[in-house]
Amino acid sequence: MEAIADYLSTDVFQSHVKQYPKGQILLYKGDLPLDVMVLRNGVIKLYDIDDQDNEKILHLVRPFAVIPFAFFSGGNEPMHWYYGALTDCEVSVIPFEDFQRRMEENSELAWELMNWFSIEVHELLVRLSSLGKSSAENKIKAALRFLAVHHSKKINDQWVRVNFNVNHQLISDLVGVTRERAAMIMKELSDKQEIRTPRQNVLELNQAALLD
């Protein structure tokens, strides 16, 4: 994402940086967005809320994600999801017209954005497909593999550590099972040394074991 990082480093966007604390909603479902937001630091969750007021996390994005996902529409498409700060976040807020003009002027930036978008949509579809797995354990293992690949740092050849705090409620919201069921399965995976929690809400994942 070098072209996007270079784009954000220009002086004109240093004054358009906003801070969002963990838990704050950045964009609301159904609204027409006025600006593009580019994530500089933190993790943003894309989620929906069901009829029972349960949160369903569809996707997690990291720097330098561009939201809303329909940014190519120029703000003419209402948002289908909520976008919220999973962690403390820092974003650059850029008017749609200016963002589109810069894409027109910078083919490298436009190409990198299209490449990023295609990868994110692919991962989103993989995430949604995994929700249809037959067992709760398989759903959770699919979510853990997603975290291992996209939101973790390597500890050694076997283990990675998720870059943000993970509790049983987050796992529940990622896969659509009850918190109690998520806690039970996470305990079973811990007993099998597929995951471990060296400290509260710190999650480490055994990549090879999760792929079995």
CATH code: domain 2-130 is: 2.60.120.10
Whether residue 61 contacts residue 44, with contact meaning beta carbons closer than 8 Å, is answered with yes
pLDDT tens string 23-69: 999 999 999 888 889 899 999 999 999 888 889 999 999 998 999 98
In this structure, what are the phi and psi dihedrals at residue 11, rounded to the nearest 5 degrees? -60, -35
Pick the residue with more confidence: 30 or 3? Answer: 30
CATH 1.10.10.10 fits 136-211, yes or no: yes
Q: Count of CB atoms within 10 A of residue 123's CB?
A: 16
Give bridge partners of residue 91 from the DSSP assignment: 18, 39
Whether the predicted pLDDT of 160 surpasses 70: yes
Whether residue 43 contacts residue 86, with contact meaning beta carbons closer than 8 Å, is answered with yes
pLDDT tens string 143-155: 999 999 999 999 9
Exposure of 23 by Cβ count < 10 A (0-12 exposed, 13-18 middle, 19+ buried)? exposed
Task: Give me the long-range contacts of 106-114 (CB less than 8 A, separation at least 24).
Answer: 106/3, 106/7, 108/3, 109/3, 109/4, 109/7, 111/3, 112/1, 112/2, 112/3, 112/4, 113/4, 113/66
Q: Which of 174, 185, 173 is nearest to 52 (CA)?
A: 173
Predicted local distance difference test score (pLDDT) of residue 45 = 97
Would you kindly state where each structural domain of the chain is located, as residue ranges? Answer: 2-130, 136-211
pTM: 0.88
pLDDT tens string 99-111: 888 888 888 888 8
Q: Which alpha helices (DSSP H) does 39-106 contain, by range? A: 96-105
Provide the pLDDT confidence category of residue 4 given band limits of 50, 70 and 90. Answer: low
